[in-house]
A and B are shown apart, each in its own frame.
Chain A
Amino acid sequence: MSSISDSDDAVRSERSGLAALVFDAKARSLFFQAVLAILIIIAAYIAVRNAGANLAEQGREFGFDFFGRPSDIQILTTFGTWLIGYEAGKNTVFDVFLLSIANTLIIAIAGVIFATLWGFLLGIFRLSNNFVLNSFATIYIELLRNVPLLLQIFFWTAVLRLVAPGPRDAGWLVPGLLSWNSKGIYGPYPLVEPGFSYTLIAFLLACVAAWGFARWAKRRQDATGKQSSVGLVTLGLLILVPTLVFLVTGRPMTIEWPNFVTEGPILRRGFERGIGSYIAPEFFALFLALTTYTAAFIAEIVRAGIQAVPNGQSEAAGALGLPPGLAMRKVILPQAFRVIIPPLTSQYLNLTKNSSLAAAIGYPELVAVFAGTTLNQVGRAIEIIAIVILVYLTISLLTSAFMNWFNNRVKLVER
């Protein structure tokens, strides 16, 4: 680098005026950047002007006033409708926008968490010496990575319909906790009473205490080599403290269980709507499809990451007497993380964008509802598509920012 700018300096001293600028690498790059910026601005200007003219010619307007209109569409009961308290005719288009984002985020978050857990496990299976685990992981990964995701979404939807009990029957999905039938999954719902905030505060305080203890324990270990059972203490703090406060304040919460109706008008039979918690089958199918599919890719990333750690590292860990599990957790994975995180981030982004395939099975997320039903209702394609692009861009940038932050943290481990 320095030699180039040195010679540039030498050239500059020999020439003057415009000629000097032409030979100045910095000036050249600035010039081309400016040209590019101007071209982009001109293109954007022409695009906006054309759009305006074409819309006017078709007698259509441009604007965002539609957000205030009432939304008279019924939307499938999901996380988003619960969050907003959505009711057709009573909420605005803006509320529909928010609830569709909430639905996109909840499927993305649930998908990312479970795809990561399952993907790491598969990746480790893939490297295992156990023939059964190894072949299972290999076949799984090859199969799922090579079948189009949309097909897998339809597959899970169909499978759930086949195995679920009929609309007016009930069965356990998780015995004692979750029941289900072809209309959805039903579980307990916590109804909190006024004094419950004390339990929440206790939980927060316990979190802070657990964090403080972990710091103290680490310092002590660094200084003296003595270990403390951080896991146990944390668990104890997080469970015992809130439970105690909960009991002392007189159990200010009741659990509402699903209500199964067997009599009365036929369409009222089955699980009563609005009682207990509810997960739509569309969410469940999408969740299964996105999780199992993305996990296959994550497994390959994890495998590559682990294999990128030199063999000497695990041999050294073994020589120090670390059992294989501990060696994996304390020696191999931390180093593998540096290789894993960048491609893992792009899998997270893929999963989020793939959630838009939900339109095909009727899960009301951003694309299905806002860029679908709402767009049809208000007919503002440019505005709505621009907004949807912005939302996805924002989610992507935030995810990337978070993963970069995390990456920098694990990087330090290397020293």
Chain B
Amino acid sequence: MTPKFYTLVAAAALVAGGASAGTLDDVKAAGKLKCGVSQGLPGFSTPDDSGKWTGLDVDYCRAVAATVLDDPEAVEFVSLSAKDRFTALSSGEIDILSRNTTWTITRDTDLGITFTGVSYYDGQGMMVPASLGVTTALELDGATICTNTGTTTELNITDYFTQHGMSFELVALENSDEVIAAYGAGRCDVFTTDRSGVAAERLKLADPDAHVVLPETISKEPLGPSVRADDKQWERVSKWVLNALIEAEEYGITSANVDEMMTSENPSVQRILGAGDNDYGAPMGLTKDWAARAIKAVGNYGEIYDRNVGPDTPLKLDRGVNNLWNNGGFMYAPPIR
């Protein structure tokens, strides 16, 4: 779909009838969840060889679909460029945006959308051809840089260069494949985006080993899902599905043992899984086994991480700050009780 199309849809949707607030009911009625993802970012959201969407952002949407519809496959993935994603969400084209999107104040307050958590703590990194012999970002004065339009990346890079009194030229392209192609062809000296994105895009280069990622992380990029701001109920669903996946890891609930855990003696586990009289789903308009459904479908946060971006995947990303809080990381979910 063309960029102008989404913007027009957004404008048209605002001009036409009133926005409907009941996304949860709409999703239940439609029998499927419309989830906005990237145009193909390995590890986060990308179609595999058989055309099936996979990735960390994709699994989150499957978890939501499992919670609401009891079917992780009941998701329609809509691939969006960075530039089109927010209009696609606010206009109702999609129900939820799960597309390596950074939580910022402008996006949270000015675009009619609300972030519901952080699914990956990231920061902006830079990649250069190894042949340049550059070892730090401070040697980049005069560089030509390629990145995506409509991203925080495009804004951060300007901050960084201005702060360090360095000059640069920016080539901002809409489609990631074009960005990495432009870099690969020597149009740019530097490729920049979220570090996870750098790792993923690097795999698309002819010779990934001929390129190095510089040590500097020049920004905070907390990536997470977002929903329309005018729908509190849907916002809670989105927020608590993510929390439940993190809680599940903390309490050792996995996709494999979730059925056995139903009989666990641990009250925290019982509450998460809705065992016995526990019912935390009802106030959100969900069933009592809401979280159990999600965990069964995609596993807990750690399983999702390892499967899609962890050290055993082509991306080889260390868990680092994305570890649980009691394991030296930032992942900390408010309690389910």
Cβ proximity bits B1-16 to A, threshold 8 Å, 1 near / 0 not: 0011001101101111
Set A59, A166, A368, A382: member contacting B14, Cβ < 8 A? A382
Set A182, A268, A356, A361: member contacting B178, Cβ < 8 A? A361
Could you tell me the distance between the alpha carbons of A230 and B274 in the complex, rounded to whole angstroms?
Answer: 95
* Pair A360/B173 contact, Cβ less than 8 Å: yes
- Min CB distance, A268 to chain B, in Å? 5
B28 CB-CB contact with A under 8 Å: no
In the complex, the chain B residue whose C-beta lies closest to that of A165 is B186
A273-B169 in contact given A361-B178, A381-B7 (Cβ < 8 Å): yes
A50 CB-CB contact with B under 8 Å: yes
Q: List 21 A-B contacts (CB under 8 A).
A: A47-B15, A55-B14, A55-B112, A73-B158, A74-B154, A74-B169, A161-B187, A166-B186, A183-B144, A266-B132, A266-B133, A267-B142, A273-B169, A360-B178, A361-B173, A361-B178, A362-B182, A371-B4, A379-B106, A381-B10, A381-B14
In the complex, the chain B residue whose C-beta lies closest to that of A47 is B15
Cβ proximity bits A368-379 to B, threshold 8 Å, 1 near / 0 not: 100111011111
Tell me the B155-207 residues at the A interface (CB within 8 Å): 155, 157-159, 161-162, 167-175, 178, 182, 185-187, 189
A242 CB-CB contact with B under 8 Å: no
B308 CB-CB contact with A under 8 Å: no
- Min CB distance, B162 to chain A, in Å? 6
Main secondary structure of the interface of A (DSSP, over half): helix
Could you tell me the distance between the alpha carbons of A342 and B241 in the complex, rounded to whole angstroms?
Answer: 60
- Chain B residues with CB under 8 A of A55: 14, 112
A229 CB-CB contact with B under 8 Å: no
A300 CB-CB contact with B under 8 Å: no
Chain B residue total in the interface (Cβ 8 A): 58
* Pair A74/B168 contact, Cβ less than 8 Å: yes
Set B14, B159, B169, B185: member contacting A72, Cβ < 8 A? B159
- Min CB distance, B139 to chain A, in Å? 7
Could you tell me the distance between the alpha carbons of A79 and B83 in the complex, rounded to whole angstroms?
Answer: 24
* Pair B11/A382 contact, Cβ less than 8 Å: yes
A77 CB-CB contact with B under 8 Å: yes
Could you tell me the distance between the alpha carbons of A356 and B140 in the complex, rounded to whole angstroms?
Answer: 31
A76-B171 in contact given A267-B143, A376-B150, A382-B11 (Cβ < 8 Å): yes
Set B11, B167, B178: member contacting A381, Cβ < 8 A? B11
A60 CB-CB contact with B under 8 Å: yes
Set B10, B158, B175, B230: member contacting A74, Cβ < 8 A? B158
Chain A residue total in the interface (Cβ 8 A): 53
Could you tell me the distance between the alpha carbons of A193 and B13 in the complex, rounded to whole angstroms?
Answer: 55
B77 CB-CB contact with A under 8 Å: no
Set B18, B110, B162, B189: member contacting A88, Cβ < 8 A? B162
In the complex, the chain A residue whose C-beta lies closest to that of B87 is A381
A372-B167 in contact given A268-B142, A356-B4 (Cβ < 8 Å): no
A265-B141 in contact given A167-B186, A375-B7 (Cβ < 8 Å): yes
Could you tell me the distance between the alpha carbons of A48 and B13 in the complex, rounded to whole angstroms?
Answer: 12
- Chain A residues with CB under 8 A of B187: 161, 167, 182-183, 281
Residues of B near any A CB (own CB < 8 A): 3-4, 7-8, 10-11, 13-19, 83, 86-87, 90, 106, 109-112, 132-134, 139-144, 149-150, 154-155, 157-159, 161-162, 167-175, 178, 182, 185-187, 189, 228-230
* Pair B171/A282 contact, Cβ less than 8 Å: yes
* Pair B174/A76 contact, Cβ less than 8 Å: no
In the complex, the chain B residue whose C-beta lies closest to that of A167 is B186
Set B86, B141, B186, B229: member contacting A59, Cβ < 8 A? B229
- Chain A residues with CB under 8 A of B228: 58
- Chain A residues with CB under 8 A of B143: 267
A75-B11 in contact given A265-B142, A379-B110 (Cβ < 8 Å): no
* Pair B230/A58 contact, Cβ less than 8 Å: yes
* Pair A265/B139 contact, Cβ less than 8 Å: yes
* Pair B140/A267 contact, Cβ less than 8 Å: yes
Set A57, A162, A379: member contacting B19, Cβ < 8 A? A57
A161-B4 in contact given A73-B154, A273-B167 (Cβ < 8 Å): no
* Pair A73/B142 contact, Cβ less than 8 Å: no
In the complex, the chain A residue whose C-beta lies closest to that of B109 is A59
Could you tell me the distance between the alpha carbons of A273 and B3 in the complex, rounded to whole angstroms?
Answer: 32
Query: Other than the known A50-B14, A368-B174, A373-B154, what 11 A-B pairs have Cβ atoms closer than 8 Å?
Result: A72-B155, A76-B171, A76-B172, A167-B186, A167-B187, A182-B186, A360-B178, A361-B173, A377-B155, A379-B111, A381-B7
* Pair B16/A50 contact, Cβ less than 8 Å: yes
Could you tell me the distance between the alpha carbons of A385 and B87 in the complex, rounded to whole angstroms?
Answer: 12
Could you tell me the distance between the alpha carbons of A158 and B132 in the complex, rounded to whole angstroms?
Answer: 23
* Pair B15/A161 contact, Cβ less than 8 Å: no
In the complex, the chain B residue whose C-beta lies closest to that of A54 is B14
Query: Considering the complex of A and B, which 4 residue pairs feature the smallest CB-CB distances, nearest first?
Result: A58-B112, A74-B170, A161-B185, A376-B150
Set B18, B157, B173: member contacting A50, Cβ < 8 A? B18
